[in-house]
Amino acid sequence: PQVVFSDDFETDKGWTVNPAATDTATTGRWERGVAQATTSTGAKQLVANSGTRDLVTGAAAGAAAGDNDIDGGVTSIQSPAIAIPAGGTVTLSFAFYFAHLDNATADDFFRVQIVGATTQTVLQELGAATIDNAAWVTRSIDISAFAGQSVRILVSAADNAGGSLVEAGVDDVVITRQ
């Protein structure tokens, strides 16, 4: 496979926080940083999947697990423009986690979208009134529909339901073409 784009977040490749200037989160905004692990009835924020840096919602642990989690709404971060070659099968792969306590609701979410001529949600996980501990999971998603376009990857997460403990992370983003 041909690597079209790769980011392990060890160097700054130009991701933009709050690209549409519509984010409402008051804490836990996305950042490229060195995440500090937190726990509250299990892991809620993890260190990077590889290397030392990742995209994380509020990298600092704080005095309590909920000190720097997402609060007050939506936070988003967007990749630089990525030229997807025409033809072949194009795959987006990335590692992520979305963690929350049992005070979360379906209004809380983690979402990955591809923004090109159209916008497509390629992964969405909603909160629920259950404890969801953080664990790195890798997903591979066919984004061949965007072949021949310039796209951006838009990652967003939200604590929209009041005082939920919500954390998210992304690492090791790779787009390949076969």
pLDDT digit string, tens, across residues 102-116: 999 999 999 999 999
* C-alpha to C-alpha distance for 54 and 35, rounded to whole angstroms: 7
Structure tokens at 63: 């005095």
The CA distances from residue 105 to 12, 91, 155, 169, in Å, are: 33, 31, 19, 19
Q: Does 34 have pLDDT greater than 90?
A: yes
pTM listed for this prediction = 0.97
Across 26-52, average pLDDT: 97
Looking at residue 56, its pLDDT comes to: 98
The per-residue pLDDT for 22 is 98
- Can you give the pLDDT at residue 162? 80
Instruction: For 123-172, write each residue's pLDDT tens digit.
Output: 999 999 999 999 999 999 999 999 999 999 999 999 997 889 999 999 99
- pLDDT range class, residue 65, cuts 50, 70, 90: confident
Mean pLDDT of 90-104: 97
